[in-house]
Amino acid sequence: MARVKRGTTSIKRRRRVLKAAKGFRWAGSTKEREAKVRLLHAGVHAFHDRRKKKRVNRKLWNIKINAASRSGGELSYSRFIYALKKKHIEINRKMLAEIAEHHPEVFQKILEEVKK
């Protein structure tokens, strides 16, 4: 059987790990073993934070809708959403927040429609 030299394979693997760990602090960007650990933890945090981002954005949308509905009238967030469902107006919270922030005159029309 022929002899297999594995130097190039291990160097490629080491370079790939260190390239992915570029920008990490202290030994995390220069030492292979530490870089592997940091990459594993970074992957875990990235996974959790992708889900956390959705939570944070939904909270932000609720805050924007609440502020706009209170400034436009006496409706609180929960009463506004209830009135929307009662009137069968199906606009999701992301779009409502966008309208409330960038197009307040359109949001006022939606509020007037809900109050009727």
Separation CA 45–CA 67 (nearest Å): 32
Residue 60 has pLDDT above 90, yes or no: yes
User: Residue 1 has what pLDDT?
Assistant: 85
Percent of the chain with pLDDT over 70: 100
Q: Name which residue leads in pLDDT, 47 or 1.
A: 47
User: Based on the number of CB atoms within 10 Å of its own CB, is 73 exposed (0-12), middle (13-18) or buried (19 or more)?
Assistant: middle
d(CA 62, CA 22): 38
State residue 51's pLDDT score.
Answer: 96
Output the CA–CA distances (angstroms, integers) from residue 92 to 20, 38, 79, 87, in the order listed: 38, 38, 15, 14
pLDDT of res. 90: 92
Would you list the DSSP string of 3-47? ----HHHHHHHHHHHHHHTTT-SGGGGT-HHHHHHHHHHHHHHHH
pLDDT of residue 85: 95
CATH code for the domain defined by 9-115? 1.10.1900.20
Retrieve residue 74's tokens: 């006496």
